[in-house]
Structure 1
Amino acid sequence: MVEDRAKVVDGVIRERRTSKVMADAPLPAVDARAMVEALAATAGWAPFHRVAARVHQESGALTSIVPWRFYLLDADGCRALRQALLERGNTSKIPRMLAAASALVQATWLPNPPKGPVTGLFEATEENMEHVAAAGAAVQNLLLAATARGIRSYWSSGAALRGPEAFGWMGIPSGEILLGSLFLFPADTGEAEVSPGSHRDRRGAPADWARWVDLDFDRGVAAAGGA
């Protein structure tokens, strides 16, 4: 029984792949709200080490201690967002994906308030690194749950969707940072263009990214001493 379950899980992980679906004209809107809520619920079982800073628990409608947030947009919302971007002259692939998507999930992570000057988006601390890792685990959970249901998905960096205007439209607090815009697509994509990820078959064999280590405590002392 354990082996059977392991085969199912391993199969879903291997099956997950990037599918960028793009349409020039909006596809019929599919009601996927219940499905997306189920995906978000499953994603929420990701591990996390540090709780979110209190300011994030008190700054918006979402009050969980987890260091991530998911903002869900249904198919009609995706079409409206597409139109708003087009009216502002957006020529990226984002409007074409919004034309095809059955849902969009804006996944953010919650940085701790900085204790000093910050260069870049956030203060480079171990706790913030752990928050990013936890949010990434939640995103992967969502993508795997989608794959298990036969749903195509694409994890985008967000482009225009990570800016303050888009955050304002969706009511996302400015103190949060977008980890990814997760596009979910219907099974029937009609004549829409479906583009696979470009790196899937380039990752190499496990031996290229994992190895057993041989402990050498003298080497460790030397490395610590700068020799």
Structure 2
Amino acid sequence: MGKDEPARARHVAIIMDGNGRWAKKRHLPRALGHQRGVEAVRRVVRGARELGLEALTLYAFSTENWRRPEEEVSDLMSLMKRFIVSDLDEFAEAGVRLKIIGDYRAFKSDVVELVEKAMARTAGNTGTTLAVALNYGSQDEIARAAAKAAAKGPVTPETISAELDTADLPPLDLLIRTSGEVRLSNFLLWQAAYAEMLFTDVLWPDFTAGHLKDALETFVSRERRYGGR
């Protein structure tokens, strides 16, 4: 990157919203909306890799999602398992490293085993890191990080940051939310302190690598002051 060239985004996070509304608009079962959402994940992960992102963090299952109907939660778990099984070879060959943030061990043992095997298989990869937020809530993450920091010594922004689930990822540059909602929903609250925000009306199943590229171009065009003039 040249001296006068604007900084490119290294780490992008996405709140993948709108699967249910996508299905409702088409008079289709909600489960089909989630299936199409998984297809969008595939497109965007490939796009992130091709665009040279160091890290892509996706909000897949929040701590609040347990409140959804049991059948929907079960469908989401089945989709996640199928996604890992079907796409793991591609991730491994493409150098993608899979990382999980949040308390994924709260899921059933078969999900935990599958996730841990996938992380182990891709642990040595040096390409794009795909961080998937599972059973994740940012307030819980910050509380856990602060407690760990306090157990080691003085609590400062730096010591808390070092204990976050994302401590080994680049700082968050850009946070995207699809479907027209304009809130963070307990996602990466600490990490988003100086991140750029982009809210789009595009429903997640319709989101493409082209939309991601456009978002990165918007990011480059913004002047980031970090509180200065």
Q: TM-score range by the shorter chain?
A: under 0.3
Structure (1 or 2) with the greater helix fraction: 2
- TM-score using structure 1 length: 0.26
TM-score, length basis structure 2? 0.26
Q: Which has the larger radius of gyration?
A: 1
